[in-house]
Amino acid sequence: MKTISLEQEINPWEAQSARFNFAAQKLNLDEGLWKVLQYPNRELIVHIPVSMDNGKLEVFTGFRVQHSIARGPAKGGIRYAPDVTLDEVRALASWMTWKCAIVNIPFGGAKGGVICDPHKMSMGELERMTRRYTAELIEFIGPEKDVPAPDINTNEQTMAWMMDTYSMHMRQTVTAVVTGKPINIGGSRGRREATGRGIMIVCDQATKKLGLRPENTRVIVQGFGNVGSNAARLMAQAGYQIIGVIEVDGALYNKHGIDVEALEKHRASTRSITGFREAESADPAELMLTECEILVPAATENQITSRNADRVKCRILAEGANGPTTAAADEILAEKGVFVIPDILCNAGGVTTSYFEWVQDRQGYFWKESVVNEQLEDIMVNAFEDVVRYAHTHSVNNRIAAYMLAIDRVAYTIRQRGIYA
């Protein structure tokens, strides 16, 4: 891969493009298909007027990017954050295309976001913003077009508002327009834990491959939101030693293992992981580089870069977040022999169970949680084996193998369908 500046390195779209181009080159991808898959199919920018609680009118900027609909409706989350950019949403949309292809579900990739600080907004303000954002997207989303889901700073309630707004415009209840909803209005059992469960499933496969046993496997989790907390709790229940947890406001370390359920209760009551008495406080940046068998970055992009990759001391890097490792860091990790479970495989449990939710909504028939989890495990194990086999066959690392496999599947579908002109 060509040398890039630090600014390019931490730009998610540049990072995605670097991996895509390298994988496409390895595949000898047709030049025309390369161009088709290199850029998103559609990019929307909307400006959303919202009446704030103080009586003033505020305007928020929102995005929705649909990267590909070749294999089915677009699929992807919506994030609310002050630093959302169009490049970030573009990258996340393309990652969703590759993610859905890796787990072989009939979706393309999309992503959305609104530039705002949800922590400084009331529930009423968030609801009004969400409903107006949904209304602006009304012609572009739908069960057969584009199916949004929760992401950073959005949740089941956000999805309930979106579903209701869409349904009001359609003059009928349309549960399948979004996933990640509350169970009583068409959500799926097991959806909340799905991304964390998927991480545990692929970590199980990786530890078996490397000859490790869970009880002797130390794990550090960065990010204790929905993904990180569920991954930590499920892995602890499976016998892994969770020795470190890193959050925005601090970090915790206990070499004998942290009681994750007790930490969750502490966080629920104090709204922070700090002050938890059963573990020592630690420096977040140092804990990321502490020796362990599995490191799970489950927060945001660009946590492992060319500046710290050489000091990472894990055997397995399980990417719970989207884009936590830059392209330049990949090469350093490969030289160190770190077994990377790339994000587009590792955190695909969420979109897989979102697919199950969409299927259940369309059937009007809902599955037991045990059935959801069993189906999820089957898909994640097969995807892991496909990626590792592809890596071995083509003599590339796991990330490039994942991209090659995904690009190959999407390109094959486009060839079959042909180009409408």
- Measured CA to CA, the distance from residue 100 to residue 115 in angstroms comes to 26
Compute the Cα dihedral for 321, 326, 327, 328 and give only its sign. negative
104 Cβ contact partners less than 8 Å away, ≥ 6 residues apart: 379, 382, 383, 409
Q: What is the dihedral of CA 86, 88, 89, 91, to 10 degrees?
A: 120
99 is catalytic: no
Which tokens hold the place of 20?
């895509």
CB 61 within 8 A of CB 47: yes
364 Cβ contact partners less than 8 Å away, ≥ 6 residues apart: none
Calculate the alpha carbon distances from 2 to 116, 157, 309, 399 in Å: 35, 44, 18, 17
Which segments of 215-348 does DSSP mark as H helices, in order?
A: 226-237, 260-270, 284-288, 327-336, 343-346
DSSP 114-132: EES-GGGS-HHHHHHHHHH
Which residue of the set 2, 111, 209, 255 is catalytic? 111
- Measured CA to CA, the distance from residue 153 to residue 402 in angstroms comes to 28
Which tokens hold the place of 254?
């206990």
* Active site amino acids: 111
